[in-house]
């Protein structure tokens, strides 16, 4: 063990403060992506006084099923002063912030190396869970507090740039959506369509990609499967693993990928880079003069996913029917209007892709900074 490595347990302590008197109302959940999220738990009839209070700069974690998920969910509360969370989650805090910054510790938890080590220790736990004592015995480098502040500052600078880019992406997407609604939705009457319009099928606007790409040409950040697509239109994350041999469907920038397993999860992504996707992911290629943003507006609606579910096969793990999907009814505007929308939103699409590409590079830089923590902390 390097001399500056210390036990995590030497620097943290468990906290167990219950919500007596129901004083705290804000209820949070904990995601596998190491973030606090609004809770979706059914709390009807639940004794909320038994829920745990978590305060700013305290951590919540889950040690259950770490081996299965290959991650230990853990998050640092920063955005609110206090909240409540399920009593199933251990709450802990740093003993002395003059020796260890909570934000520095959270950076350590975000490292992929930390998750691999947690998964290794979870092998002997019940149902692949990480025992608390094993978690405390894990180690991290604890450099001087001045060095910790320097590392945290550099990390936060990158993170803030990512967040600003994401805000810009959302504004551009909202603007494109507003134009779509104004031109193609508002005031449109099925019984009296504008001149040049008709009722058609999705297959009139796109087709399934048939191109293949060798696994040897892919990496974890260019391979998309249903496992690394996020629910509710939240995009994609880096894959955990790749197929060992063969080839998969190729996708390009501007293609639309939809997970075909359990369509009710609404996993959809407008590709911002090229790569390959598994057979459980549908890849749609817009036809000529059809803007990717126009096609995405059709696919991302709840009505579309409800339609896919209606034609799906299987009960435990429903799968969409590819032919049924292509028969989805939709308005087909005039070619002139489609071309105009494509030209109008082209700058939006280009800027969205540019910001997404920049964020991808920033995330790589952030991951590099995290991976170098053990080395930098020695200086």
Domain extents in the chain: 5-142, 162-362
Written as one string, the DSSP assignment of 295-316 is HHHHHTSHHHHHHHHHT-B-SS
- Give residue 59's pLDDT: 98
Six-digit token pair at 98?
């003059």
- Give residue 302's pLDDT: 94
Domain formed by 5-142, architecture: Alpha-Beta Complex (3.90)
Residue 202, CA distances (Å) to 189, 252, 298 in order: 19, 19, 9
- Give residue 298's pLDDT: 94
What CATH fold (topology level) applies to the domain 162-362? Adenine-n6-DNA-methyltransferase TaqI; Chain A, domain 2 (3.90.220)
- Give residue 237's pLDDT: 83
How far apart CA 228 and CA 44 sit, in angstroms, is 32
Q: Helix or strand or coil: residue 329?
A: strand
Over residues 11-41, the pLDDT tens digits come to 999 999 999 998 998 999 998 889 998 876 6
Q: In sequence order, what are the beta bridge partners of 223?
A: 276
Q: How confident is the model over 200-229, as a mean pLDDT? A: 94
Over residues 97-114, the pLDDT tens digits come to 999 999 999 999 999 899
Q: How confident is the model over 257-281, as a mean pLDDT? A: 94
Do the two domains 5-142 and 162-362 of this chain adopt the same fold?
yes
Q: What angle do CA 41, 46, 47 make, to 5 degrees?
A: 130
Q: How confident is the model over 117-143, as a mean pLDDT? A: 87
The mean pLDDT value of the chain amounts to 90
How far apart CA 171 and CA 267 sit, in angstroms, is 21
How far apart CA 215 and CA 247 sit, in angstroms, is 5
Kindly tell me if the per-residue pLDDT of 379 is higher than 80.
Answer: no
Kindly tell me if the per-residue pLDDT of 117 is higher than 80.
Answer: yes
Q: How confident is the model over 343-348, as a mean pLDDT? A: 87
Six-digit token pair at 165?
């880019």
The model's pTM is 0.74
Kindly tell me if the per-residue pLDDT of 1 is higher than 50.
Answer: no
Kindly tell me if the per-residue pLDDT of 154 is higher than 90.
Answer: yes
């Amino acid at each position: 063990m390097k001399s500056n490595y210390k036990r995590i347990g030497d620097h943290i302590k468990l906290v167990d403060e219950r919500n007596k008197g129901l004083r705290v109302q804000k209820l949070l959940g904990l995601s596998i992506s190491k973030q606090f999220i609004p809770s979706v738990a059914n709390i009807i009839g639940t004794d909320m006084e038994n829920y745990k209070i978590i305060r700013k700069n305290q951590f919540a974690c889950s040690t259950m099923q770490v081996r299965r998920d290959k991650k230990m969910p853990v998050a640092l509360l920063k955005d609110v002063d206090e909240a409540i969370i399920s009593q199933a989650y251990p709450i802990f805090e740093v003993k002395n912030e003059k020796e260890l910054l909570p934000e520095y510790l959270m950076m350590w938890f975000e490292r992929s190396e930390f998750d691999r080590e947690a998964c290794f220790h979870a092998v002997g736990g019940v149902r692949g869970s990480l025992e608390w004592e094993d978690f405390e015995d894990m180690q991290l480098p604890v450099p001087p507090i001045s060095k910790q502040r320097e590392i945290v500052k550099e990390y936060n600078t990158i993170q803030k740039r990512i967040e600003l880019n994401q805000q810009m992406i959302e504004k551009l997407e909202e603007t494109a959506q507003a134009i779509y609604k104004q031109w193609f939705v508002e005031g449109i009457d099925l019984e009296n369509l504008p001149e040049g319009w008709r009722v058609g099928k999705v297959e009139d606007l796109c087709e399934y990609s048939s191109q293949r790409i060798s696994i040897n040409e892919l990496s974890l950040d260019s391979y998309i499967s249903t496992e690394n697509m996020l629910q509710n239109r939240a995009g994609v994350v880096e894959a955990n693993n790749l197929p060992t041999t063969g080839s998969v469907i190729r996708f390009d920038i501007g293609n639309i990928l939809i997970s075909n397993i359990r369509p009710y999860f609404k996993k959809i992504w407008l590709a911002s880079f090229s790569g390959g996707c598994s057979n459980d992911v549908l890849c749609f290629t817009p036809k000529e003069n059809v803007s990717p943003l126009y096609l995405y507006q059709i696919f991302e609606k709840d009505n579309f996913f409800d339609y896919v579910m209606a034609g799906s096969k299987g009960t435990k793990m429903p799968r969409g029917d590819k032919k049924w999907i292509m028969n989805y009814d939709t308005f087909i505007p005039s070619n002139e209007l489609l071309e105009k929308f494509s030209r109008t939103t082209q700058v939006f699409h280009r800027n969205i892709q540019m910001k997404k590409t920049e964020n991808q590079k920033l995330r790589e830089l952030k991951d590099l900074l995290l991976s170098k923590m053990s080395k930098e902390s020695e200086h």
